[in-house]
Amino acid sequence: MAVALEQYCPDLGNWPQSWRIEEQDVPIGERIVESLKPFLINLLIQGLADKTLARHRDHMWLLGGEIIRRWHDNRAKRPMEDLLFDMLEDEGGPLIWPRITESEQNAFDATCRKLYRFLNQAKPRS
């Protein structure tokens, strides 16, 4: 499955660098990638169309960047791992800044709903 993930997300290892605001953000970005890998693999297992997979992959990249941005704003207040769960709900994900179009936000929210369900099935939170 690692080969399939590499083909699906050839730049996955570069995501933490692309999200960074400061150099210290890279290790946090690496933890985000590790948190998202099981979901990305699950999407591959589902046998979704290439275009659908690409859309979900791109949304995960957006989500990671938003987690870093919000973590930067609230660095001392919330651990990064909690931000991922806090940003997702059964209705979707966070509003992306800078603002994306309504249709783009709706598509992003659909991916976040899938991620929310996946994470809650894999690791129920109290």
Model pLDDT for residues 31-65, shown as the tens digit of each residue: 999 999 999 999 999 999 999 999 999 999 999 99
Place of tokens 């150099």: 23
Q: Are 32 and 62 in contact (CB under 8 A)?
A: no
Q: What is the DSSP letter of 92?
A: B
Model pLDDT for residues 16-32, shown as the tens digit of each residue: 999 999 999 999 999 99
Q: Would you list the domain boundaries of the chain? A: 2-122
Q: Is the pTM of this model over 0.75?
A: yes
Number of residues that this document lists for the chain: 126
Q: Are 66 and 114 in contact (CB under 8 A)?
A: no
**Where does the pLDDT of residue 113 fall: very low under 50, low under 70, confident under 90, or very high at 90 and above?**
very high
